[in-house]
Structure 1
Amino acid sequence: MNDAPALPAAVVWTRAIAVASLLALIVLGMMWELWLAPTGNRTLVLKVLPLAVPLAGLLKNRMYTYRWVSLLVWVYFTEGVVRATSDSGSSAVLASIEVVLCVALFAACATHVRWRLRSAKEAAQ
């Protein structure tokens, strides 16, 4: 039996948003470098590998993973901002989408941690 208390719906939603935005970043990065706006060097697709590492932790709902993903995402945010302002055409659009996904991932992770800690504190009282 699992004695852990059920998580509030808001916490479950933040988890879903975090997982969805992480998956979207992985797919966007792969499609961007392979098909949508390749730079000629397809090895840039390897940039999405670090994003695949935390996927298992998010799916297993590990608090530590949410914390460090909220830091890792800023590397991709920075890349998106730089490419959105320096590239043109479809690459700039894809970079803007990357920025939006990074903000969504960060917000979901930060909110998840905050609400989950609050929920645990309330359950302990």
Structure 2
Amino acid sequence: MPELNTSAPMSGRVKKLRYLALFSHITLIVWMLIWYFLLPITADYSIVFKLLLFIVPLLLPLPGILQGKPYTHAWASFIVLLYFLHSITVLYAEPSQMLYATIELVLAIAMFVGCSGFARLRGQELGTGLPKLKTVMEAEKNLYEGKHHEQKNSNE
């Protein structure tokens, strides 16, 4: 695998998305700690359950987020969808915790936008973005047609 040029300059837009991802990620961790460990809620979950379900998933990508790694931001976008779903579920099922769930929802959306936007744009800046589908399809077509013609010519 080629070495990435992580020292490539970062545009202002990419920096803003990085800071959005970083701020919302750290704030979401703090918010979930406050919500499930300091605020009075009626659900009696064990401390281990609350840590494993609400805190640990956010801690997994934290080192890569702090370092500004596009790949980590990309998979953190998938992790934050759990918090998006959790907040929507609480909004629907627990009207008494609507404010708490709304805060979680806003932070989850901000983290998703920041992480996915940063991963995409920074990947493009570093030259690690995915090729366009049109290019991939054309390469596959050329590969297939090339093999097909070789087989046809060898059979004749």
Q: For this structure pair, what is the TM-score category when the shorter chain's length is used for normalisation? A: 0.7 to 0.9
Structure 1 counterpart of 2:99: 93
RMSD: 1.8
Counterparts of residues 78-117 of structure 1 (less than 5 Å): 78-89=85-96, 91-117=97-123
The count of corresponding residues between Structure 1 and Structure 2 is 119
Counterparts of residues 22-101 of structure 1 (less than 5 Å): 22-38=25-41, 39-43=43-47, 44-46=49-51, 47-89=54-96, 91-101=97-107
Cα distance change of structure 1 residues 24 and 42 upon mapping to structure 2, 3 Å threshold: farther
> Sequence identity of aligned pairs in percent?
29
TM-score by length of 2: 0.69
Moved more, 109-118 or 14-23: 109-118
- Asked whether the 8 Å contact 2:74–2:119 carries over to 1, the reply is yes
Query: Deviation per CA, 1:29-58, whole angstroms, max 9, x where unpaired?
Result: 111011223323352531211101111101
Q: CA deviation at 1:4?
A: 2.1
Structure 1 unpaired stretches of 5+: none
Bigger Rg, structure 1 or 2 = 2
TM-score by length of 1: 0.85
Read off the aligned partner of 1:70 and give its amino acid letter: S
Read off the aligned partner of 1:67 and give its amino acid letter: A
Structure 2 unpaired stretches of 5+: 128-156
